[in-house]
Amino acid sequence: MKPVLADFKPVAAPSRVLGWLAVSSVLVACASGLAAWRQQREVQTLRAGLVQSQAQLARQVLPLPPSPIQSKPYERSLREMLNERALPWPDALASLEALALPSVTPRAIETSAADGTVRVELTVTEPAKLMKYLDALNMGADKNANDLVWGLQQTQTDGATNTSVAILVGKRTTRAVAK
């Protein structure tokens, strides 16, 4: 025969205080774990950002400091204005007004500050008079260094009407364009 170990001892339920303590401990542990996890994630994010920033900084080429010339955005327009001012358009107008040939009619005048020239478009009903007109314009050009010297740039003749369209270019013999 063997001993009988039957025991109906009731299982002691945890007291209310112990229960609350256990629940609050679990809650505190959960909260602590959550806070730690959040902080760790934040630290990881910051570290990743730091590493990324360092890498970006290492890759980044610092731009050169702007040159003094580039720091003056008005210089280009100033030069254009000075070039415009230096253009011989008053002389050109005076030459064109002073010269009148019945078959040659100025149609358009265009100045170019970039190269300091004056272009004149003419309509010539008698092509033979175009060269006379050009010679008359250039007459006396060598007297003064600032006088305009005219040249024929382009001519196009319409055979049906025997009318030519010519473009003359006037240029100073010595450039007086401001630099």
Partner 1 sequence: MKRLCTKGRGWAQPRVRVWLSGALARPFVLTPVAGLKGKVEARAMALAMAEEATGLEPGCDVCLDSVPKSAPALSVVTPSELRLEIAGIAKALRVNIESLRPWWAGALGEALASDARLELFAAQDTEAVTVLVAKENVWLSANTYTPNPNGVQLEALVTRRLFADGVETKAACRVRLDATLGNPSFWPKCRPLTSFSDE
Alpha-carbon distance of 68 to 66, in angstroms, equals: 6
**Please, which residue, 13 or 62, has the CB nearer to partner 1?**
13
Position 59 contacts partner 1 (CB under 8 A): no
Region near partner 1 per CB under 8 A, out of 9-17, 50-58, 122-130, 154-162: 9-17
Position 5 contacts partner 1 (CB under 8 A): yes
Instruction: Supply the minimum distance, in Å, between the C-beta of residue 23 and partner 1.
Output: 21
Position 17 contacts partner 1 (CB under 8 A): no
Give residues with Cβ within 8 angstroms of 54, minimum separation 6: none
Alpha-carbon distance of 77 to 84, in angstroms, equals: 10
Region near partner 1 per CB under 8 A, out of 6-14, 39-47, 120-128, 161-169: 6-14
Region near partner 1 per CB under 8 A, out of 8-16, 75-83, 91-99, 144-152: 8-16
What CA–CA distances, in Å, run from 132 to 99, 102, 107, 135, 145? 11, 12, 18, 5, 22
Position 16 contacts partner 1 (CB under 8 A): no
Structure tokens at 5: 């170990």
**Please, which residue, 8 or 74, has the CB nearer to partner 1?**
8
Position 6 contacts partner 1 (CB under 8 A): yes
**Tokens 């314009």 map to which residue?**
137
Alpha-carbon distance of 117 to 169, in angstroms, equals: 6
Q: What number of other Cβ atoms are within 10 A of residue 123's Cβ?
A: 14
**Please, which residue, 10 or 73, has the CB nearer to partner 1?**
10
Position 65 contacts partner 1 (CB under 8 A): no
Alpha-carbon distance of 170 to 55, in angstroms, equals: 61
**Please, which residue, 6 or 64, has the CB nearer to partner 1?**
6
Contact positions vs partner 1 (CB under 8 A): 1-10, 12
